[in-house]
Amino acid sequence: MITQKMKYALKALLVLADEAATATPEPLTIEEVARRAGTPKRFLEHILLELRNAGVIRSTRGRAGGYKLLKDPADISISELLRSIDGPIAPLPCLSRSAYQRCEDCKDEASCRIRRVFAEVFWSYLVIIDSLTLADMLRADAPALPGL
């Protein structure tokens, strides 16, 4: 499950991507991003700073300042955003690519049935999530997933 913070980050990025796709893209103030995204400004300030530090957006100061996407939406990986905003996405620390830790109560990872079952589910999830970009989220004509 993604956090509310991640949802706000995605909403803000979608607003910035929509603006970047206009005929005359302009930097957007934090107030404008918050208004268009329907997110609280006070949470967005910290989130936009994290996205800027991650190299996804840039900010400019001054009268005509604001936020703009730094990368093309097709180059903004959803899984990288998840890791940058929410931290490791693995269900168990022993399955994490970026924050691997051996489980303290595990005697042998190779024979751990809990790890094996969650690994199968997690790797399937990773195949999908690693292939998604912000550009995929921008597609209004994308088919809905079954059951949603």
Q: How far apart are CA 112 and CA 117, in angstroms?
A: 9
Q: What is the pLDDT of residue 112?
A: 86
Question: In this structure, what CATH number is given to the domain that contains residue 27?
Answer: 1.10.10.10
Higher pLDDT, 132 or 105: 132
Q: Is residue 105 part of a domain?
A: yes
Q: Is residue 61 part of a domain?
A: yes
Q: Is residue 85 part of a domain?
A: no
Cα-Cα-Cα-Cα dihedral sign, residues 77, 81, 83, 86: negative
pLDDT tens-digit map of 13-24: 999 999 999 889
Angle, helices 41-53/78-86, rounded to nearest 10 degrees: 110
- Are residue 65 and residue 113 in the same domain, yes or no? no
Q: What is the pLDDT of residue 147?
A: 54
pLDDT tens-digit map of 47-82: 999 999 999 999 988 887 899 999 999 999 999 999
Residue 39: phi, psi to the nearest 5? -120, 155
* pTM exceeding the 0.85 threshold for the entire prediction: no
Q: Is residue 78 part of a domain?
A: no
Q: Indicate left, alpha or beta for 118 from its phi (over 0: left) and psi (-120 to 50: alpha).
A: alpha
Q: Is residue 148 part of a domain?
A: no
Q: How many domains does the chain have?
A: 2
Higher pLDDT, 16 or 109: 16
Higher pLDDT, 51 or 114: 51
Residue type, 113: R
Task: Count CB-CB contacts under 10 A for residue 9.
Answer: 27
Q: Is residue 111 part of a domain?
A: yes
Q: What is the pLDDT of residue 99?
A: 82
Percent of the chain predicted with pLDDT > 90: 52
Domain ranges, residue 20: 4-69
Q: How far apart are CA 111 and CA 102, in angstroms?
A: 13
Give the contacts of 21 (CB within 8 A, at least 6 positions apart): 138
What the block records as the tokens of 95 is 């399955």
- Are residue 104 and residue 50 in the same domain, yes or no? no
What the block records as the tokens of 30 is 């934090």
Cα→Cα distances 79→13, 15, 17, 61, 102, Å: 14, 19, 18, 30, 22
At 116, the pLDDT band (50, 70, 90 cuts) reads confident
Question: Is the pLDDT assigned to residue 148 strictly greater than 60?
Answer: no
